[in-house]
Amino acid sequence: MEELRDIKGLDLTNLFAWAIGWQIVAGFCVIALIVALIGVYKYFKFRKSWKYLAQTRLTFLAKNIDILSNKQIISTLNTVLRYSLIQVVGREQAASIKANKLLDLLEQHDHKKFDWSAKGAILLKGPYQPNIEKLDKSQILQLILASKRWINVN
């Protein structure tokens, strides 16, 4: 029995006495979590915006350009652009928009300088023309893409 000694317990350590490397890793994890939460918040905020609704409709038109009739595409595109213009310039100014004024306002607020007065004339006359179905789909697709760019910028 003389050879036996008492066993000492482990020294008490502080829970926060990590090595500096682990503190850096934990800091990066916290920063990554904050950035991810901000991204999720912005994503869901965008999903509730008018831009998302307009982009969704325009994407649908572009994907189904071969299935839908030209009249349907032009009238939907006209509606989406008028709705977007109300959001950009305000309800008071956009409420009294006449036909040519629509193209002028689109051109004023377009930073890419798309020629709305020449290429967008289909928007005004298209739904009422009997020969609208003979119109080339590439012209309509060009209008849809210009509308998407216009909505992204504004």
pLDDT digits (tens, 9 = 90+) for 24-48: 999 999 999 999 999 999 999 999 9
State pTM to two decimals: 0.71
Residues 59-72: what's their mean pLDDT? Answer: 90
DSSP state of 109: T
| Buried residues in 84-98 as b, exposed as e (16+ CB within 10 A) | bbbbbeeeeebeebe
Residue 87 lies in a domain: yes
Q: What does the mean pLDDT of the chain come to?
A: 84
Q: State whether 108 and 75 are in the same domain.
A: yes
pLDDT beyond 70 at 17: no
Count of the separate structural domains present in the chain: 2
Residues of the domain holding 38: 10-48
Q: State whether 81 and 135 are in the same domain.
A: yes
Judge contact between 77 and 59, C-beta under 8 A.
no
Q: State whether 107 and 146 are in the same domain.
A: yes
